[in-house]
Amino acid sequence: MRKAVVAGSFDPITNGHLDIIERSSELFDEVIVVLSHNVQKNYLFSLDERKLLVEKVIAHVSNARVVAVSGGLTVEAAAQLGASVLVRGVRNATDFEYEATLASHNRVQNGEVETVLLLSKEEYRFVSSSMMKELARFGGDVSPFVPEVVKSDLEEKYKDAPERKIRMDEEITNVEV
């Protein structure tokens, strides 16, 4: 049985992430979505919220499951889970350079786990979790880029964000700096 890990923080999961997971599920017998948690990072969604969102979004992928991890190297988590492959999505040349370097480091740490890079589909090359959070924060439409359940949760998180309201010259001059 060929197991693969697709890892990320998924804060939040996007259609680009989902595409990589779905395509991985066609290539491997089992896909383990490793939800990483770095205690030094500030997340919009808690670990439990992110895990629940990912589980909802990938529910239709019969050979995929979600595992949350904290600490340690992703390549070692993959090995502990019995995966021989790390799948990474690549959107652009910058991603490629980063992922190639990471793959080299991972090979040194554990040569039993191979890295496979999947190119993002054209429509997802500019989609990132951080961009979705910024778009939602300012009241933009994220529906083309994230699953519906994620869109709803993003809107709920930012429903009272002051940035959603546009202030014009007269209002801005009265704002304390």
Alpha-carbon Rg of the chain, whole angstroms? 18
Tell me the HSE value of 94 on the side-chain side, using a 13 A CA sphere: 2
Q: Which residues are catalytic?
A: 17, 41, 91, 129
Q: What angle do CA 58, 150, 55 make, to 5 degrees?
A: 25
CB under 8 A, 24+ apart: contacts of 44-48: 44/11, 44/12, 44/133, 44/157, 45/11, 45/12, 45/153, 45/157
For the purposes of burial, counting CB atoms within 10 Å of the CB of 28, is it exposed (0-12), middle (13-18) or buried (19 or more)?
Answer: buried
Question: What is d(CA 159, CA 23) in angstroms, rounded to the nearest whole number?
Answer: 33
